[in-house]
Structure 1
Amino acid sequence: MEDALNLPLADVTVIDIATLLAGPFAAALLGDYGADVIKVEHPSGDPLRRFGHVYEGVPLLWKVANRNKKSVVLDLKKPEGRDHFLRLAAQADVVIENFRPGTLERWGVGPDVLERINPRLVLTRVTGFGQDGPYASRPGFGTLAEAMSGLAAMSGDPDGPPMLPPFPLADAFAGVQAAYATMVALHSRGLTGRGQVADVAITESMIGALGAQLPVYDKLGLKPDRVGNLSNSNAPRNVYRCADDRWVAVSAPAQSVADRVMRLVGRPDLVEEAWFSSGTGRVAHRDVVDEAVSRWIAERNRDEVVSEFEAVEAAVAPIYEVDDVLRDPHFRARNVVIDIPDDELGSVRMQNVPFRLSATPGSVRWAGPRLGEHTEAVLEAVEPKPVDADQGKAR
């Protein structure tokens, strides 16, 4: 296992006081690349410890979302917990939080206090609706962002209700945005010598991810239709049942790919139609396009479909369940899933780091820790001078 000192963020200390998913996921991404992430939890523990599936009393999502972190128990509402936190923050590079706006200020550890004790600190604040505006004080979770961004309205079948994703998509995406915002702020600090506040709203993260829906409505007055697994931009694009009752996904956004698909399924005549030369034209005739692809696939087993598509360099993928992911030879060759030793579980399989750097690749060094596992060691290592937040210096 790679030594954290050799990782690219080994000189960055992150204090993660966020709960549940978006903020902690951002901190985990930084920890994957070597940041020293100190997870500060209330004595009752992060609510994520009581969320989702458990194995022999151990929360499994916790092990993933809080990997590469040290757990420290502090009650920031109490003077002693506040003082310990300020000592940590005085020596840190980043603090990540996701409480409602005004919460840190009420506890006496708001951005003005943090700036006085550590002008180089980056404070990343992840909330549902941002730090200001009419909705700032509302509780905000990923589901609300998926609803209000337009994602749910465009998801689902034409005759069905709006559909939410079956996993915390908005939280995960906002976590990526928060990690990126943190890195941009750290880069800026390298130029200016000063930290700043990064205000990350989960709703805005999702709105920004949904492509051209805003300019399309602005200029054309069109709203995205719910089209199930079809696409409003290209055809063929759908999921198809094979003869062995397994499924594949097909997408042909490029003209050349659509051409190859239709020739493969025995409909070269469609390629000669004038409308076939654009995505818009194919969408307007997607019933005939989709029927041709569906009929051809339904007559063949999944392995045969994938093999023949690949032979003509057309885009296809089998619809995987989680056990398929574990068996896939490509994912195995690239170590997409890794097995991490763990004191509570013996070992636990989880996804590897999300991207690869050629010179300084990240690593998962341990899974999510026990509650308060590192409290004593972390607090003993902090400079034992009390911090006077009013004066902005140690005394």
Structure 2
Amino acid sequence: MSGPLAGYRIVDCSQIVSGPMAATMLADQGAEVIKVESPGGDPVRTLGPKKGDLSSMFIAVNRGKQGLCLDLKSADGVAVLERLIATADVLIENFRPGVMERLGLGWAHIRTLNPRIIYCSITGFGPDGPYQNVRVYDPVIQAVSGIAASQVDKEGTPGLVRHLVADKVTALTAAQAITAALLRRERGGPDAAGERVEVAMLDAAIAFNWPDGMYNNAFLDDAPERWPEYGAQMRLWKAADGQVAIGALQTAEFVALTRSLGRDDLAEDPRFATTAGRIKHQREWAPQVSAEIARRTRAELMAGFVAHGAVGGPVVRLEDVPDDAQVRHNRICIEVAHDDAVGRVRQARAPARFGAPLDPLGPAPHLGQHSRQTLAALGYDDAAIAALVAAGAVKG
């Protein structure tokens, strides 16, 4: 099934994860994405397990794109990018504030090249402000946004989520904002102007953390009594052969959980009949639930959870995720064939379905893999392409 964004062209000048992943989400939904890299390549090409210039992380956030390699320090390289931008619907970049302006590719200039373009800039802390000149990676945003402070240990010491949560939620935010901007442009008709969309990682991370991580800091007038921090209530439970996650926020869920464990007495205890009661008396019911879980295997627990409609799931090792029964049923993991040097690569398919799963994208590009054909499509003849390659403005 072709995606709903078929026919849109996106120029992806971003690197690392936040911008490239946003562009990949749009590619998953049918957009044509041309990834523009410097001669040194996106640093993620070398991060983690890799074959040649393709790491598994790079493939995950750049699948299905065309690869164009330009030296934007050269006037010829900038001229090629300008010609490409003139044909595009969206431009994505995540350089530090001011870099695009120094290249002569700021918003004021870009909209003269293409008045209908959606120009998405992703920054760490934002385009200005006291931290604007600080280089940013995911752990920095986790620290400043409060995400790290939501991950405290038993001593109350903050910690980091062990994946690129700030980068990835920024990608989700940017992809949705770009789609919204395209929708507004389309509603305005063929004469509608494009617009600049700005997404700061800090903004996205705080908004993401707010509903649960900041719920004790929301009321400003006559604040109610503070609750235990939401994250402090989350834990994994030891089973006979591993661990499981459970939930009992609603009373019906607590009843289902305890009955799945053969403990109807807990379900009927009036002390545990409300959320507030269960929090207040957690030391009374939790050890009993813990003991029942510890006596059962994960398979036995899941059978009970399914039978009673309880909230629960097994903790699955990373290497076993593709073989989990529900993962297999949903056909989440797919295989994409790259070239002979790389072979098959397992990926997670596009998660959204539009009546049916979307057609899987092809492989991620090697550095500059599609440079020549991209230039040819822009109207450069063989002699002009050869001259650009010889000058080092373009690499193939």
Superposition TM-score, scaled by structure 1 size: 0.88
Relative distance call for 1:227 and 1:12 in structure 2 (3 A) is closer
- What is the total number of aligned residue pairs between the two structures? 374
Give matches, 1:1-395, under 5 Å. Answer: 6-55=2-51, 58-192=54-188, 193-210=192-209, 211-214=211-214, 216-219=216-219, 220=223, 230-231=232-233, 238-244=235-241, 246-343=242-339, 344-358=341-355, 361-383=357-379
Relative distance call for 1:224 and 1:373 in structure 2 (3 A) is farther
Q: 3-state SS of the aligned residue for 2:254?
A: helix
Residue 271 of structure 1 and its aligned partner are, at CA, apart by 3.8
Name 1:390's counterpart in structure 2.
Answer: none
Aligned-pair Cα RMSD in Å:
2.2
Letter in 2 for 1:217: N
Cα deviations by residue, 1:223-275 (Å, 9 ceiling, x for unpaired): 786676x52xxxxx53111123x111111122101122233435444444544
Letter in 2 for 1:84: V
Cα deviations by residue, 1:188-225 (Å, 9 ceiling, x for unpaired): 11123111111101111111112154453142387786
Q: 3-state SS of the aligned residue for 2:77?
A: helix
Relative distance call for 1:73 and 1:136 in structure 2 (3 A) is same
Letter in 2 for 1:288: E
Residue 304 of structure 1 and its aligned partner are, at CA, apart by 1.1
- Gaps spanning 5+ residues in structure 2: where? 385-396
Q: 3-state SS of the aligned residue for 1:249?
A: strand
Letter in 2 for 1:113: H
Cα deviations by residue, 1:138-191 (Å, 9 ceiling, x for unpaired): 222221121111111111323252121111111111101100010001011112
Query: Among the aligned pairs, what percent are the same residue?
Result: 34
Structure 2: distance between partners of 1:289 and 1:77: 65
Relative distance call for 1:31 and 1:312 in structure 2 (3 A) is same
Structure 1: distance between partners of 2:227 and 2:62: 36
Superposition TM-score, scaled by structure 2 size: 0.88
Relative distance call for 1:174 and 1:311 in structure 2 (3 A) is same
Residue 329 of structure 1 and its aligned partner are, at CA, apart by 2.8
Structure 1: distance between partners of 2:199 and 2:225: 28
Structure 1: distance between partners of 2:17 and 2:200: 13
- Gaps spanning 5+ residues in structure 1: where? 232-236, 387-395
Letter in 2 for 1:161: T
Structure 1: distance between partners of 2:370 and 2:163: 30
Relative distance call for 1:224 and 1:198 in structure 2 (3 A) is farther
Relative distance call for 1:101 and 1:57 in structure 2 (3 A) is closer
Relative distance call for 1:155 and 1:20 in structure 2 (3 A) is same
Say whether the 8 Å CA contact 1:243–1:302 is kept in structure 2. Answer: yes
Say whether the 8 Å CA contact 2:107–2:119 is kept in structure 1. Answer: yes
Residue 320 of structure 1 and its aligned partner are, at CA, apart by 0.6
